Amino acid sequence: MTTQNHHLVLTLVCEDRPGIVHAVTGAVVATGGNITESQQFASASTDRFYMRIQVDTPAAQEQFEQELQPVIDRYDIEHTLDVAGRPLRTLILASTAKHCVNDLLFQTDAGNLPLEVPLILANHDTLAPLAGFYEVPFEHLPVKGPEQKAAFEARVLQAVDEHDVELVVLARYMQILSPELCEALAGRCINIHHSFLPGFKGANPYRQAHTRGVKQIGATAHFVTSDLDEGPIIEQNVTRVDHTRSPAELMAIGQDTECRTLRQAVGWYAQSRVLLDGARTVIFR
Amino acid sequence: MTTQNHHLVLTLVCEDRPGIVHAVTGAVVATGGNITESQQFASASTDRFYMRIQVDTPAAQEQFEQELQPVIDRYDIEHTLDVAGRPLRTLILASTAKHCVNDLLFQTDAGNLPLEVPLILANHDTLAPLAGFYEVPFEHLPVKGPEQKAAFEARVLQAVDEHDVELVVLARYMQILSPELCEALAGRCINIHHSFLPGFKGANPYRQAHTRGVKQIGATAHFVTSDLDEGPIIEQNVTRVDHTRSPAELMAIGQDTECRTLRQAVGWYAQSRVLLDGARTVIFR
Amino acid sequence: MTTQNHHLVLTLVCEDRPGIVHAVTGAVVATGGNITESQQFASASTDRFYMRIQVDTPAAQEQFEQELQPVIDRYDIEHTLDVAGRPLRTLILASTAKHCVNDLLFQTDAGNLPLEVPLILANHDTLAPLAGFYEVPFEHLPVKGPEQKAAFEARVLQAVDEHDVELVVLARYMQILSPELCEALAGRCINIHHSFLPGFKGANPYRQAHTRGVKQIGATAHFVTSDLDEGPIIEQNVTRVDHTRSPAELMAIGQDTECRTLRQAVGWYAQSRVLLDGARTVIFR
Amino acid sequence: MTTQNHHLVLTLVCEDRPGIVHAVTGAVVATGGNITESQQFASASTDRFYMRIQVDTPAAQEQFEQELQPVIDRYDIEHTLDVAGRPLRTLILASTAKHCVNDLLFQTDAGNLPLEVPLILANHDTLAPLAGFYEVPFEHLPVKGPEQKAAFEARVLQAVDEHDVELVVLARYMQILSPELCEALAGRCINIHHSFLPGFKGANPYRQAHTRGVKQIGATAHFVTSDLDEGPIIEQNVTRVDHTRSPAELMAIGQDTECRTLRQAVGWYAQSRVLLDGARTVIFR
């Protein structure tokens, strides 16, 4: 790779039929590009074809796009094309819990997560110092009744617009979004739920897990939909526990799993590795 | 340990209050015994105290029991006392799936599971050769309607009685037991459910897991109660999967997790390591 | 997919340069084929390009091969082409330990492993009944001195020749192969070592693990080379243990990990998912 | 538990013989105490008996100690007695890597780790802002030659003395301690090594892991001894990786495992759950 080369990421979704890969790679070759990573999947549930390739190419992004256009047209492809590693403009919604926000900011700062966080919006001011340490703008808007909730959600949409936000992350925000906001953010809003979904939906999953006596507790990162805790799952992890743990201890133990699970989901999304396949996700890890 | 010594396993359950351990270990000392393993747990949910100790003692089991009796009486203790490692008389109920039965028989034969299996009772004859290879008696009783089901369940109870069965294992038996049978086998009947409960209860959990797009599939070994798939959980494990797997592949991948999870649950039960704490279990691993 | 279609598996290794994927997929398109699975990797250590594709094609294997030939020539590609799912002719070498052989035969019989085992060759007769149950030919040749060892190894090579064996699996065979045999079987002989290599090479790894007090024990499936326990690693797994476990218990606990690890390595190899990249492996899972 | 009660933690090590538990619990009963947690282990390698109990008692610590003294004397017991949850005075040694220090400080601040950190001592100033955010004193002493190294180590010992330090944590400090310092800190100095020991001792373990092509990378928290990376292991974890990862990516992926592994080891140590059994550790989790 010479330093003049671009490293581009292309994702493609279309109806599954023969010839797509050959046609797409033809466009890559025509720009003098080399494929450095490539993954594909044909979904039996939806009959759709999914592909993600990373290309090292001397061509400008516009030129690459032009070269690709006939293929896009011929196969009726939905596609995205981006510079690899470009930081994703990400709005974080938070409440009082620190662990997920701390992890996202630390990993971003350490260069492990390609995010750019123009704003953290929270219904409590607990996280203000942490945001300050990482020099991330922080706003606190209390959410104590329907009016304040509406104002908070209006601010979310305004911030999305203002900062050209590409992803909204609910980092243990703990409030249920209105159906309207879910709709407005469809496919670009990720939540971390502190259980192994579909087990223990709704409130207090660690308490539910304790009552039920499960032997592993989990966390699930998923797209937010208006159907609570039913959105497409992006990532899940579990941690072993035993009968000696109280609900509070389960919560403390589970936080690590939450951080890791949310970070992975957000990182994959930022690298265009997460594609929607109906109610499921295709993850090109 | 001299070869004359007994290795005894004692479990105790009673109301939690001070002095129990001192009193119990006093009985151990009085028989000249040495504690080789000891675990205890005070449940905050039920206010009960649980203990399991292994004792290396020159005293006969009866003498040990006698020495213990005043303590049992004073603290109103439910207890079990057994020779460590004694094979547990275990009835296996099966259907057509081979993997769990194969694992239980192989591990028993290899000396890794302290079981003695007087009978495998199945609603299909698929497993007859496998049972034959391990020289375990096998009976086939079809279950195609309510009458045959009643006959099968009657045979279960008869076999439990006849062979003095201590544990009934549903090794992917795939039939729902009647409430009466659940009641009759309460606390001594373990099922393996092929999902991470409480997710995907009921039929076809791998199909449900596929539809929901989970990223890890699991298995749960639990006590059978009349409340389907809601009995106290003994052990759970998961295996990572991704979007490329069909329901049939999820099933094949999950079988390993099922075998391991059921084997662990049965092994712990056979070693008196599983105690009931309301709707939860205490596992002294 | 129509029933007349072939499902072919193609692997490719060559120097990494632009255009390969386009050229290969061109051959696929020319035969009317559809790519159902595709993975690729460019190795920074060796500058080589690795690819595996599964193709659903109406073309006969010979026709597909013909179509591919110009691409093979142009890019100087080493390739394999096979019918997907074809059972791999596999010779198993064993000793007294049953668990790995039992697992391989059970999984093959259950249709989870695409193997065809023309022979099990062992230096003890312990496994004869197990082989008999699965109707797999079994030979016992004692290995008690250099002469018997030479005779055993000669029989291995003869059996490889006689049955056109594609893979030799050391299923806890426990004997060190001669450099000559290692050489003769290079790239097609897989061993399961009962530790997390490179830790605890050589004999008695569970004893070594106990002495060192590790908190997880592992198993490693690797290609056999004349450099003991240093061959390219195919798969590794670990299991958590603690201070209470004796070397014998570590061994019993670890057997499950061994079975699973060997089975995965062998299964991937049988599906042409394992490619050699110098001293490392590329695994297209 | 009434609020006047103390919650004490007692650890005991002595030669294994009958009667110890009865005698110790006798002292607990005599002070009106209740045992809330109890674990024990008889080591077959060293013939020593290890015990840890938590006691809820109305007695003052001195009174409890007095009550215990005859038992201590009779069985020649080494013991520790402390208030449960008391923060451990912990000196952190660091270099430029942030992740472990960030994790330790975050978890301490969140109340998940019972530590009190009087000082972070580092050979670079990279971590000064992070220490500042958590209001932990930070000192930077360059270590560029033998003289500076000696000065750094002298400062370590001085700080240990000055702050009555109970544990020294090498949070990716990356310098080899002198045998003298190892000796001075024996049994109270924990290092995090970024490999699954005993694999990949010494420098650049992620590079070694890449060269060897391992399929899981690990981290090991261990006591520091003068025998490099050979001290008693406290905790180990692994993370799955594949052939696509560069050494730099392995490092980024492994950091999470390092944080978690070090945190667990330090947390257990702070709760008196880590006891030395020759070259091994007993961990009462």
| Candidates D21, D29, D38; nearest CB to B18 | D29
| Candidates D106, D252, D256; nearest CB to A260 | D256
The answer to whether residue D276 sits within a structural domain is yes
The answer to whether residue B1 sits within a structural domain is no
Catalytic residue among D16, D109, D229, D277: D229
| Candidates A98, A133, A252; nearest CB to D133 | A133
pLDDT at position C45, please?
A: 87
Cβ atoms A219, A199 nearer than 8 A: no
Q: Is A93 on the interface with B (CB under 8 A)?
A: no
Q: Is B55 on the interface with D (CB under 8 A)?
A: no
**How confident is the model over A271-283, as pLDDT tens digits?**
999 999 999 999 9
Contacts of B50 (CB under 8 A, 6+ apart): B11, B12, B13, B40, B41, B42, B43, B275, B277, B282, B284
DSSP symbols for B139-207? EE----SHHHHHHHHHHHHHHHHHTT-SEEEESS--SPPPHHHHHHTTTSEEEEESS-TTSS-SS-HHH
Q: Do B22 and D17 touch (CB under 8 A)?
A: no
pLDDT at position C6, please?
A: 82
Distance between CA atoms of residues A241 and A254, nearest Å: 9
Distance between CA atoms of residues D109 and D90, nearest Å: 14
- Please check whether residues A161 and A270 belong to one and the same domain: yes
What proportion of chain D, given as a percentage, has pLDDT over 90?
95
Cβ atoms D172, D94 nearer than 8 A: yes
Mutation target for D interface from C41, C216, C237, C282: give the one with most D CBs within 10 A. C216
Distance between CA atoms of residues C140 and C123, nearest Å: 6
pLDDT tens for chain B, 285 residues long, are 344 678 999 999 999 999 999 999 999 999 999 999 999 999 988 999 999 999 999 999 999 999 999 999 999 999 999 999 999 999 999 999 999 999 999 999 999 999 999 999 999 999 999 999 999 999 999 999 999 999 999 999 999 999 999 999 999 999 999 999 999 999 999 999 999 999 999 999 999 999 999 999 999 999 999 998 999 999 999 999 999 999 999 999 999 999 999 999 999 999 999 999 999 999 999
- Please check whether residues A203 and A270 belong to one and the same domain: yes
Of B36, B63, B83, which marks where a domain is finished? B83
pLDDT at position A45, please?
A: 87
Distance between CA atoms of residues B17 and C2, nearest Å: 72
Whether residue A3 has pLDDT greater than 70: no
**How confident is the model over A139-186, as pLDDT tens digits?**
999 999 999 999 999 999 999 999 999 999 999 999 999 999 999 999
- Please check whether residues A120 and A164 belong to one and the same domain: yes
Closest chain A CA to residue D109: A98
- Please check whether residues C67 and C93 belong to one and the same domain: no
- Please check whether residues D66 and D123 belong to one and the same domain: no
Q: Do A110 and D98 touch (CB under 8 A)?
A: yes
Q: Do D110 and A98 touch (CB under 8 A)?
A: yes
- How far are the Cα atoms of A187, D94, D218 from residue D194, in angstroms, in the given order? 37, 15, 6
Distance between CA atoms of residues D214 and D240, nearest Å: 9
The answer to whether residue C1 sits within a structural domain is no
Going by the DSSP 8-state scheme, the letter that residue D229 receives in this structure is T
The answer to whether residue B194 sits within a structural domain is yes
Q: Which chain B residues contact residue D35 at CB under 8 A?
A: 18, 21, 40
Instruction: Give which of C136, C142, C98, C147 is closest to C123, Cα–Cα.
Output: C142
The answer to whether residue D10 sits within a structural domain is yes
Size of interface A-C (CB pairs under 8 A): 48
- Please check whether residues D131 and D56 belong to one and the same domain: no
**How confident is the model over A243-271, as pLDDT tens digits?**
999 999 999 999 999 999 999 999 999 99
Q: Which chain A residues contact residue C42 at CB under 8 A?
A: 36
Catalytic residue among A76, A109, A125, A229: A229
Q: Do B106 and C129 touch (CB under 8 A)?
A: no
Mean pLDDT of C234-260: 96
- Please check whether residues B104 and B140 belong to one and the same domain: yes
pLDDT at position D5, please?
A: 76
Q: What is the CATH number of the domain that holds C76?
A: 3.30.70.260
- Please check whether residues D35 and D95 belong to one and the same domain: no
How many beta carbons lie within 10 A of that of residue A166, not counting itself? 18
- Please check whether residues C149 and C247 belong to one and the same domain: yes
Backbone angles phi, psi at B54, to 5 degrees: -110, 135
Mutation target for D interface from B10, B17, B38, B53: give the one with most D CBs within 10 A. B38
Of A83, A112, A136, which marks where a domain is finished? A83
Domain membership of residue D77 as a residue range: 6-83
- Please check whether residues B66 and B93 belong to one and the same domain: no
Instruction: Provide the number of structural domains found in chain B.
Output: 2
Of C50, C83, C116, which marks where a domain is finished? C83
**C83 vs chain B: nearest CA distance in angstroms?**
20
Q: In residues, how long is chain A?
A: 285
Helix (H) or strand (E) holding C140: strand C138-140
Report chain A's mean pLDDT, rounded to a whole number: 95
- Please check whether residues B188 and B138 belong to one and the same domain: yes
Mutation target for D interface from A36, A102, A134, A239: give the one with most D CBs within 10 A. A102
Question: Residue D169 is which amino acid?
Answer: V
Contacts of A282 (CB under 8 A, 6+ apart): A41, A43, A50, A274, A275, A276, B243
Q: Do B35 and D36 touch (CB under 8 A)?
A: no
Q: What is the CATH number of the domain that holds A269?
A: 3.40.50.170
The answer to whether residue B37 sits within a structural domain is yes
Whether ipTM exceeds 0.85:
yes
Whether residue C1 has pLDDT greater than 60: no
Q: Is C73 a catalytic residue?
A: no
- Pairing mode of beta strands D88-94, D48-57: unpaired
The answer to whether residue D1 sits within a structural domain is no
Catalytic residue among C109, C229, C242, C256: C229
Q: Which chain D residues contact residue C205 at CB under 8 A?
A: none
CA dihedral angle for residue C89, residue B257, residue D268, residue A209, rounded to 10 degrees: 160
- Pairing mode of beta strands C78-83, C115-122: unpaired
Contacts of A69 (CB under 8 A, 6+ apart): none
- Pairing mode of beta strands C189-193, C216-223: antiparallel
- Return residues 96-155 of C near A (CB < 8 Å): none
Q: Which chain D residues contact residue C209 at CB under 8 A?
A: none
Q: Is D11 on the interface with C (CB under 8 A)?
A: no
List beta partners, residue D190. Answer: D169, D223
- Please check whether residues C138 and C242 belong to one and the same domain: yes
Q: In residues, how long is chain D?
A: 285
Distance between CA atoms of residues A270 and A169, nearest Å: 12
The answer to whether residue A31 sits within a structural domain is yes
| Two tokens, residue B232 | 């106290």
Contacts of D88 (CB under 8 A, 6+ apart): D114, D115, D116, D166, D167, D269, D270
Q: Do C212 and D279 touch (CB under 8 A)?
A: yes
Instruction: Give which of D29, D33, D76, D27 is closest to D55, Cα–Cα.
Output: D33
- Report residue D45's pLDDT band, with 50, 70 and 90 as the boundaries: confident
Q: Is D38 on the interface with B (CB under 8 A)?
A: yes
Contacts of C154 (CB under 8 A, 6+ apart): none
